Structure 1
Amino acid sequence: MIAFEIAPEEQAELDKALYDALNPLASAIRSRQTGLPADRMWEASPVEVALSVLAAWKVMDAEVRRLTAHAAATAGSYGASYEQMGAVWGITRQGARKKWPDAVSRSAPATAGRSALTLFGGTAELTQAPSGDWSWAGVGADGTHVAATDGKRYATAEEAAAHAGAFLKEHAVDRS
């Protein structure tokens, strides 16, 4: 398995970014629990402060898990295998399949020159022309249609998929 490590300065930057994201959430949680305004966050008891920080980390953990599952589904939609995802995550193929059961499509492989992409609640179909160029057509989650990218061609399936993915993201339905 591949081990991904970060440099100490990257770890310090990551820690700072996480704490910067955590503090407003912890302050809001503490304010709701104690009735104190957020600007008086340190006037709560040390136990209340510590528990609100713990509660904020729990919220962040759930959000990281959701975003991780989304990243795994995206990788799977581009053709990544459970073995590859497991290697990146430091777990076995079976562990990746258990962690993200729907990330890799179990359907029959797409025929050469044609494949489907499902992201953000929409779908796109990639098609290879006899010349070898690629195009795509799609329907966003909001119902917006694009037909065969209006004659635009791409050199690779990956490039067409990137443009299709950007369209699908732009036309996703906000679920918040």
Structure 2
Amino acid sequence: MSSPEITPQEQAELDKALYDALNPLASALRSRASGLPEDRMWDADPVDVTLSVLAAWKVVDTEVKRLTALAAGTAGSYGASYEQMGAAWGITRQGARKKWPEAVSRPATAAAQTNTALELCGGTAELTQEPSSGGWRWAGKGADGTHGAADGGIRYATKEEAAAHAGAFLKEHAVDRFQAGVEPG
């Protein structure tokens, strides 16, 4: 797979979408730094305004790197190799391994991969990897006695994704919601 090329129209649409997403963030950052309302951001000193925009791009850059690593990890969990990820990113296999060192996991023992216990908010859940598909499922019991599991045929790509869903269930079924970190509403 080679690095994707985008058309000039796609580039223009991407630029517009990024600027549309960036402007509220830049305005909020500038407002917090200056104490001025967000709607007056562009009335400030041009150097301060452009530095606010630069700071907002830094936030976006950090988030893109995080999401890129997540996408690489997901690709690896589905069986993509570093060679394939490198080709998609336009770098070598070694470059991909260095960029996303945790994306492709080394095979662990079958017992270590198939079951993991999770205790949270007074409840417990068991995360199970299915040998046939490699997908992850969860089943648990909340502190309030409610039983739950991944819906029907849902299989999660990673253990972490299954754990996040199990954790949300356990938090929802904690006996004392305040102790679970949920503020009374």
Counterparts of 1:126 and 1:138 in 2: how far apart (Å)?
11
CA apart distance, 1:55:
0.2
Counterparts of 1:52 and 1:138 in 2: how far apart (Å)?
44
| 3-state SS of 1:2 partner | coil
Counterparts of 1:117 and 1:59 in 2: how far apart (Å)?
37
Q: How does 1:68-107 map to 2 (within 5 A)?
A: 68-107=68-107
Partner of 2:19: 19
2:129 equivalent to 1:125 = yes
Counterparts of 1:145 and 1:127 in 2: how far apart (Å)?
22
Give the alignment's Cα RMSD to 1 decimal: 3.7
TM-superposition CA deviations, 1:42-78 (whole Å, max 9, x none)? 1110000100000000000000000100111111111
**Contact 1:78-1:117 within 8 A present in 2 as well:** no
Seen in structure 2, the aligned counterparts of structure 1 residues 165 and 98 have a Cα distance that, compared at 3 Å, is closer
CA apart distance, 1:126:
1.7
How many residue pairs match? The answer is: 154
Question: Which residue identity is paired with 1:3?
Answer: S
2:53 equivalent to 1:53 = yes
Seen in structure 2, the aligned counterparts of structure 1 residues 33 and 145 have a Cα distance that, compared at 3 Å, is same
How high is the TM-score relative to the length of structure 2?
0.67
CA apart distance, 1:168:
5.7
Seen in structure 2, the aligned counterparts of structure 1 residues 94 and 137 have a Cα distance that, compared at 3 Å, is same
Percent identity between the two aligned chains = 61
Counterparts of 1:84 and 1:57 in 2: how far apart (Å)?
29
Seen in structure 2, the aligned counterparts of structure 1 residues 170 and 11 have a Cα distance that, compared at 3 Å, is farther
Seen in structure 2, the aligned counterparts of structure 1 residues 172 and 39 have a Cα distance that, compared at 3 Å, is farther
| 3-state SS of 2:65 partner | helix
In structure 1, runs of 5+ residues without a counterpart are none
**Contact 2:156-2:162 within 8 A present in 1 as well:** no
Counterparts of 1:26 and 1:45 in 2: how far apart (Å)?
14
| 3-state SS of 1:103 partner | coil
